[in-house]
Amino acid sequence: MGDILGLVGKRLGLGLVILFVISIIIFFMILLLPGDPAQAVLGQGATEDNLAALRKEMELDKPAIVRYLGWLSGAVTLDFGNSIVTKEPVISLIGERFMNTLFLAAYAAVIAVPVAIILGILVALLRNSIFDRVANVATLTSISSPEFFLGYILILYFSVKWGMFPAISSLSDGMTFWQLLERTFLPALTLVLVVVAHMMRMTRAAIINLLASPYIEMARLKGTPPWKVIVKHALPNAWAPIINVVALNLAYLITGVVLVEVVFVYPGIGQALVDAVSKRDFPVVQACCLIFAATFILLNLAADVGAILTNPRLRHPK
């Protein structure tokens, strides 16, 4: 247990260092944007008094390192300052939207993870069959298609032609849980089509790689049924790479939803980021980017921990 905690502590420390470096990049990359930030926010018709007041509000009169340290100390306590456009606290603007994004990601994950693992096992069992070839073509097509393209195709058929689901995923406070599932089905399905392909192919590759092992050959020589060879002997040893790819795709579900949320006008943090960029609301942009980075690093840490727990060789590298 001590070795596991030590490895987790090292991964966590490395994740914090990476997050610190990313925070520097996020803060100073915005400063490198051309033009005057106050002028970009207020437009060309702004007066000098208004520009001076906004520059003072944005603390542009202070050195960049002082502003960064103040922003970082606030970000540690989830205080990202106030929005330039609405004057409201940033955390209140993006808090509910981040929960909406988490719900959409969880909705997609509940469908995608079991489907991907089951399909991966089936194509490993039926390797080089027609089913395997069709599954490979379908997954390669899904991986090669951009999210917005898949989203518009789903809108064309499920909304315009068949009228089964709404094209716009607008949410309201009085919605029931089933109405929420119906409104968010198309964006969730778009994410499912993308991540299922990655997870299924990794599951298939991990299991096929293990099928060449001597202990699998021994199990076959003993007359063990093919499904039992995979489920009882191959799958437990394939969990480490499968957990890795599942965790990485879960990270993608949260951090890669920007295009999907824009296509379906879904009120998530990705849509908030796009709106903030268009309005030059820099505090909201910085907060969204930092939250995306922290979520991705946290899920990568979960993938590392899952791989360590399921693979004894990683716990005892010597």
- Kindly report the pTM of this predicted structure: 0.81
CA distance 281 to 275: 8
The ranges assigned to domains in the chain are: 2-76, 97-315
* pLDDT above 70 (res 148): yes
Mean pLDDT over all residues of the chain? 81
CA pair distance 132, 124, nearest whole angstrom = 8
pLDDT value of position 249 = 80
H helical segments located in the chain: 2-31, 37-42, 48-57, 64-76, 90-125, 130-144, 147-154, 177-183, 185-210, 214-221, 226-228, 235-255, 258-264, 269-279, 282-310, 312-315
Tell me the sheet residues that pair with 82: 89
pLDDT, tens digit, for every residue of 172-227?
Answer: 777 888 888 888 899 999 888 888 888 888 888 877 777 777 887 787 788 888 77
Determine contact, residues 303/248, Cβ cutoff 8 Å. yes
Hey, which of 82-86, 279-283, 287-291 has the most confident mean pLDDT? Answer: 287-291
pLDDT > 80? residue 263: yes
Out of 1.10.3720.10, 1.10.3210.10, 1.10.357.10, 1.10.287.3510, select the CATH number for domain 97-315.
Answer: 1.10.3720.10
Q: Which residue has the higher pLDDT, 98 or 143?
A: 98
**Residue 212 CB: number of other CB atoms within 10 A?**
8
Rounded average pLDDT over 129-144: 84
Q: Is 26's pLDDT higher than 70?
A: yes
pLDDT band at 231 (very low <50, low <70, confident <90, very high): confident
In this structure, which long-range contacts are made by residues 214-223, counting pairs with CB atoms below 8 Å and at least 24 apart in sequence? none
Task: State residue 271's pLDDT score.
Answer: 86
Would you call 305 helix, strand, or coil by DSSP?
A: helix
Q: What 3-state DSSP class applies to 89?
A: strand
For 37-69, the pLDDT digits (tens) are 666 666 666 677 777 777 777 767 777 788 888
pLDDT exceeds 80 at position 314: no
**Cα angle vertex 173, ends 168, 177, to 5°?**
75
